[in-house]
Structure 1
Amino acid sequence: MSSPNIRQKSPVPRISPSGGGHLARQPSLTAASAASRIDDATSIVSLRRFNFTVFGVLGIIAFIYTTVVLCVIMPWLSYSVPGVLNLGFLTIDTGIALYCFMLCVVMDPGSVPVDYSPDPEANTVLQVKRKSGEARFCQKCGRHKPPRAHHCRVCRRCVLRMDHHCPWINNCVGHANYKAFMLFLIYITAAAVHALGLLCGHALYWMRMHAENRQHSIRTGPGGTAVGTSAEASLHRNLVWAIMQTVCTGISLPLTIGLVMLLIWNLHLALHNKTTIEFHEGVTAKIQANKAGTSYKHPYDLGLCGNLHAICGDSLATWFVPTRAAAEGDGLSFPSGWQADLGRSAQGLLREPLGL
């Protein structure tokens, strides 16, 4: 796998005529022609990715949702206001999570165009090989690799802005489906926490009611032996539901803990605009930088707002709306915090003589 070495091809930034702090980029013909291909790739779906693991995930989600609705919400809360609200929120979260999961499975995460080649004249950050300093090239695919792209041994191809290969979706998480993956984690975690809370609340309610009914049990005979209680009779009538709730709670508890931890980890990466691969590469880069007496900063960290916009898009209204559109950009080049610093420095040099 290629090293995360990065260099700035143009040491002197060119300022756009508008006077803003953005770098004026010379459009690459290959990158421009490939942009439309990337957009078209986001609409390509593949049903061949459905395997036993994917169907297993769908089955677990369906089992937990059905058990909570039929065995908890309906008999416990019924059609009351709390019951309708809990049913509505759980259904919405589960439905959106399932839609995002399907997007993660069927969407192409982003492939490198056949005619892609790095443009040495463009004012973009270019990742190079550690030893030779040449442009990154995939020997297995036989083509150049854009920045942040990596070869997946499972998919047997290079994936744009590859985060990792997820066996649960039987697909890579990359440029085109990263937003869908993040939204899936958010909504499925919310649904799992909600379902586990209802299961635990109903279990506590059942134990309390069972204890109260035992205190008021009907007794008969000289010895006053209890012959039965309404709670025991109800338990026998609903033995199957009780087993379903027990199994569902046993599945939901570790699943919810795992999802919460996974969501926190991925939110940490997203807020710093890092992929899982870049995080591990960054650890090595920090160690090497410390040995050399320098500091290391992730080149694609654009700040909190910039990182969120780069992943979720410019429109705040659509940040939590699952769409088939990819993240910002074409996946072949990415804005860098280094470019922003150079742009601000260059604009400061232009303003100082003018007394601005």
Structure 2
Amino acid sequence: MAWNVFKFCTALRALGSIMILVVIGIVGFTYYAVVVANYGPALLLGGFDSFVAILVVALFHFLLIMLLWSYFSVVVTDPGGVPPGWRPELDIEKNEGNQPVIAEANPAFSAGGSSAHGVRYCRKCNQYKPPRSHHCSVCGRCILKMDHHCVWVVNCVGAMNYKSFLLFLFYTFLETTMVAVSLFPIFLVFFTDGDEDITVSPGNLAATFVAFVLNIAFALSVLGFLIMHIMLVKRNTTTIEAYEKHTTPNWPFDLGRKKNFEQVFGRDKLYWFLPLYTEDDMKRLPALRGLDFTSRSEESEPLQSL
């Protein structure tokens, strides 16, 4: 049985609050290095230098706004909990379709193809569990389409905030990459032999050096997570399901790249890069709410009946 890394880590709730301050601190430090110390003053120089500074400052602020919007959307949005008194549509007393009542202790069922229709029960919450939901030991409740508990956002990543989390990774990668590229010329000043071309104060130069190293490190690390989650979206699975998926050769919720993408980002293209959904998408795509997921067998039923 896999070891639950959160079993003895309820202190992660307090740690998460500190991590929010760390994120704000890194953003503030980077803002100082890019805008205050370097490209802000360059706006007054005129000519090509001012033109470059305008582009850098404008792009920096746009990506920063999108990053913070996505980040705090993950922080404040409920990932999705099981509604009080929720019961599966199957007749539990009669156990229609001979579907077994499966408890939390059976991980194979959680990842198996039968989980699309079987009845699942959480012994910790003393309630029935919708398909693809998992119990979070840190939050102390079952989360709809739970991906993982993230200390960086002091929240679980689930059905209702997974899109915001992916956009947070996306905009963080773009922002940190842009910062690293824009600070690279100043970073090279550390390796120059003479002092005649150095116009940056020692303090600002040190801040630039640290900001460059931090942002290049974050860009590389976030890129790995972003690629991993792109692959998960492509297969319509979560981090937890991908870990358990070795028990099932055919994943029942893989509906093809297009439909898998829509079950996370919606169908309205204008909202794909915004951490929110249209009301129309919320009505047309029940999977966005985390309670009702279409399986491949259900997709093929209408075709078989023709």
TM-score normalised by L of structure 2: 0.79
The match for 1:263 is: 226
Cα distance in 1, alignment partners of residues 121 and 155 from structure 2: 23
The answer to whether the 8 A contact 1:49-1:106 is kept is: no
The answer to whether the 8 A contact 2:172-2:219 is kept is: no
What code does the residue aligned with 2:215 have? S
1:231 Cα deviation from its structure 2 partner: 3.9
1:276 Cα deviation from its structure 2 partner: 0.4
Unaligned segments of structure 1, at least 5 residues: 3-47, 215-228, 287-295, 348-356
Cα distance in 2, alignment partners of residues 65 and 338 from structure 1: 51
Cα distance in 2, alignment partners of residues 69 and 231 from structure 1: 20
The answer to whether the 8 A contact 2:146-2:156 is kept is: yes
User: Measured at CA, do residues 247 and 299 of structure 1 come closer, stay the same or move farther in structure 2, by a change above 3 Å?
Assistant: same
1:52 has 2:18 as partner: yes
What code does the residue aligned with 2:138 have? V
The match for 2:5 is: none
Q: CA RMSD, aligned part only?
A: 3.1
Matched residue of 2:156: which SS? strand
Matched residue of 2:119: which SS? coil
Cα distance in 2, alignment partners of residues 84 and 245 from structure 1: 18
State the Cα deviation string for residues 233-280 of structure 1 (Å, max 9, x = none).
x46xx0110110111122122211111111111111112111101101
Cα distance in 2, alignment partners of residues 75 and 313 from structure 1: 42
The match for 1:301 is: 254
The match for 1:345 is: 304
- Which one of 161, 167, 191 corresponds to residue 183 of structure 1? 167
Segments of 4+ in structure 1 off by > 6 A?
Answer: 131-134, 324-327
Cα distance in 2, alignment partners of residues 249 and 306 from structure 1: 39
What code does the residue aligned with 1:195 have? V
- Which one of 43, 60, 78 corresponds to residue 108 of structure 1? 78
Identity %: 30
Number of aligned positions between the proteins: 270
Matched residue of 1:181: which SS? helix
What code does the residue aligned with 1:344 have? L
The answer to whether the 8 A contact 1:103-1:324 is kept is: no
1:72 Cα deviation from its structure 2 partner: 3.0
User: Measured at CA, do residues 87 and 336 of structure 1 come closer, stay the same or move farther in structure 2, by a change above 3 Å?
Assistant: same
Matched residue of 2:260: which SS? helix
The answer to whether the 8 A contact 1:76-1:202 is kept is: no
The match for 2:8 is: none
TM-score normalised by L of structure 1: 0.68
Cα distance in 2, alignment partners of residues 76 and 128 from structure 1: 67
State the Cα deviation string for residues 310-329 of structure 1 (Å, max 9, x = none).
11112111111222779642
Q: How does 1:173-322 map to 2 (within 5 A)?
A: 173-204=157-188, 206=189, 210-211=192-193, 214=194, 230-231=196-197, 234=199, 238-283=201-246, 285-286=247-248, 296-322=249-275
The match for 2:9 is: none
The match for 1:137 is: 121
Cα distance in 2, alignment partners of residues 82 and 66 from structure 1: 18
The answer to whether the 8 A contact 2:187-2:209 is kept is: no
Unaligned segments of structure 2, at least 5 residues: 3-13, 92-98
State the Cα deviation string for residues 298-344 of structure 1 (Å, max 9, x = none).
11111111011111112111111222779642321111222112322
The match for 2:89 is: 119
Cα distance in 1, alignment partners of residues 62 and 21 from structure 2: 21
